[in-house]
Amino acid sequence: MSKSFDITIESLALPSAKVTPEGCGPEIIRAEIANPDAESLSFAANKSFFIETFGCQMNVHDAEKVAGVFLARGYRAAQTIAEADVVLYNTCSIREKAAQKVFSRLGAWRGMADGKIIGVIGCLAQQEGEDIFERAPWVSLVCGSASYRKLPQMVAELEAGGRRVMGLDLDTEETFETEITRRDNPLRAYVTIIEGCDYSCSYCVVPHTRGPERSRPSEAVLSEARRLADAGYTEIQLLGQTVNSYRDPSSRQLGFVELLREVAAVEGIRRVRFTTSHPNDFHREIVEAIDSTPALCDHIHLPVQSGSSRILGAMRRTYTRDEYLEKISWIRAARRPISVTTDVIVGFPGETDKDFEESVTLLDAVGYDGVYAFTYSPRPNTLAKTMPDAIPEAEKSRRLAVLQDRQRQIQIERNNKLVGATFEVLVDTHHAARAQWAGRSTSNLIVNFTSPHQNLLGEYVQARITRAAPFSLVGEQVI
């Protein structure tokens, strides 16, 4: 019989992870145990680990699972790199800057490497492979995300005197299932439903770093959702690079929308989010499901990348501007307002002023609630790297600033219209100095608010908006 445990930070010893992107200060760390009766291959008497993570939510969640693998095998969580026996650097290689950071960080660890296992995991590990040993000989483990299930054997090999181990297989059919997941966010639990990516966008390293698409059996997803609800979670975020390409490999053969509805029906789960949706697999049924299922959050992240059909073609995104806008029209026709956010790349090779202008006008045409914009970065093994007509860095930066400026105006206008409205907020932060609480609406907007109450962390409260800023709302609790 599988049971669930809710473990607080005290019983897990010390925080063992530095997570850069989300910055959720863990006041409670929940470890949720999938199968505590599984045979424990404990090989680490009194040893400890530390994981430092960069990258997207998938990387952040991988770190939670890798931490679980170590805990399940008797390791304890170290508070600092200096005191850890195993130090893992969970890397991202989506843009050149992220990749450069890895080697400068590894350089800084050189002096601390003695007597430790230093490992590089994640997307740059997969991309650079053996070369990492050349550039940083104090590293003894290199492992990409598609090989994480082999981590215990790899560490055991090193502990038995092995010098270097690598896990770089990409052709696996399997997904990464763990006995324990050591969760860093006490309120929002990540659940992977699909790994890898079968698209081949011409600028992107992900298909090379995470391998082909593999969906998890629906029962594994649903039982994880039930365990999370038992452990006290009310919000789940389903993850995948193309989350809406999900296809249940089990005999139930659920589609993405059916899975969404079943996760939303798990008792105790009040909010279900999902990211990232690919426009090509975005169907009207997703909007219908959100419209008819209160637990499905009214927010869709739908990366467009460019507003120019010509550039979308060169990017191999498989849709045109008009096809994308048609999908947006389904979202806008929903009965409840659904917020839409996106990713945009500026300065793709050959992007003319006119192409760029189309990205800017698309912002107005859609009315996004948030845009993550990036300057194009040429990446190894991608088609775009060999394309002519590179845009100079200074021009890319100029375009980025123009786009961000326009989006800021749009957000000011949109948020101003919300003054006077009331939102349900799941409280995740207390700003003691400002005497404010903060949390997210189901549409994923940040709401800062005042309240006469104390200890609101983890509560759902109603907040009335009194003031709007471009990136957040300000209000007061409705008592």
Start-end of H helices in 121-276:
123-128, 131-135, 151-159, 206-210, 218-230, 256-264
DSSP state of 138: T
Residues in contact with ligand F3S by the rule CB under 6 A: 55-56, 58-59, 92-94, 122-123, 205-206, 209-210
Question: Which of 241, 306, 443, 448 contacts ligand SAH by CB under 6 A?
Answer: 241
* Nearest distance in Å: CB 353, ligand SF4: 24
- Is 207 a binding residue for ligand SF4 by CB under 6 A? The answer is yes
Shorter beta-carbon distance to ligand SF4: residue 271 or 278: 278
* Nearest distance in Å: CB 379, ligand SAH: 5
328 binds, among ligand SF4, ligand F3S, ligand SAH, none (CB under 5 to 8 A by kind): none
Q: Among 444, 446, 368, which Cα is nearest to 403's?
A: 368
What CA–CA distance (Å, rounded) separates 118 from 89?
A: 8
- Is 214 a binding residue for ligand SAH by CB under 6 A? The answer is no
Binding region for ligand SAH (CB under 6 A) out of 185-193, 257-265, 322-330, 375-383: 375-383
* Nearest distance in Å: CB 383, ligand SF4: 11
Helix or strand or coil: residue 477?
strand
451 binds, among ligand SF4, ligand SAH, ligand F3S, none (CB under 5 to 8 A by kind): none
CA distances to 51, 103, 134, 141 from 131, in Å: 21, 11, 5, 12
First CA to last CA distance, the chain: 43
437 binds, among ligand SAH, ligand SF4, ligand F3S, none (CB under 5 to 8 A by kind): none
Shorter beta-carbon distance to ligand F3S: residue 205 or 260: 205
53 binds, among ligand SF4, ligand F3S, ligand SAH, none (CB under 5 to 8 A by kind): none
Binding region for ligand SF4 (CB under 6 A) out of 114-122, 126-134, 195-203, 359-367: 195-203
Q: Strands (DSSP E) along 147-206, which ranges? A: 165-167, 180-183, 188-192, 194-195
Question: Which of 199, 330, 374, 460 contacts ligand SF4 by CB under 6 A?
Answer: 199
Shorter beta-carbon distance to ligand F3S: residue 126 or 441: 126
DSSP state of 410: H
Helix or strand or coil: residue 468?
strand
- Is 242 a binding residue for ligand SF4 by CB under 6 A? The answer is yes
* Nearest distance in Å: CB 200, ligand SF4: 6
345 binds, among ligand SF4, ligand F3S, ligand SAH, none (CB under 5 to 8 A by kind): ligand SAH
207 binds, among ligand SF4, ligand F3S, ligand SAH, none (CB under 5 to 8 A by kind): ligand SF4
What CA–CA distance (Å, rounded) separates 102 from 124?
A: 8
What CA–CA distance (Å, rounded) separates 171 from 165?
A: 18
Contacts 24+ apart (CB under 8 A), 218-224: 218/248, 218/250, 218/252, 218/254, 218/259, 218/262, 219/250, 219/252, 220/175, 220/177, 221/191, 221/193, 221/259, 221/263, 222/262, 222/263, 222/266, 223/2, 223/34, 224/34, 224/191
Find how far residue 385's CA is from the centre of its chain. Answer: 25
Q: Is the peptide bond before 276 cis (omega within 30 degrees of 0)?
A: yes
User: Which residues in the 262-291 window bind ligand SF4 by CB under 6 A?
Assistant: 278
Residue 382 and residue 204 in contact, taking contact as beta carbons nearer than 8 Å: yes
Question: Which of 30, 216, 271, 379 contacts ligand SAH by CB under 6 A?
Answer: 379
Question: Which of 216, 278, 321, 327 contacts ligand SAH by CB under 6 A?
Answer: 278
Residues that bind ligand SF4 (CB under 6 A): 197, 199, 201, 204, 206-207, 241-242, 278
Residues that bind ligand SAH (CB under 6 A): 94-95, 203-204, 206, 241-242, 276, 278, 303, 305, 343, 345, 374, 376-377, 379
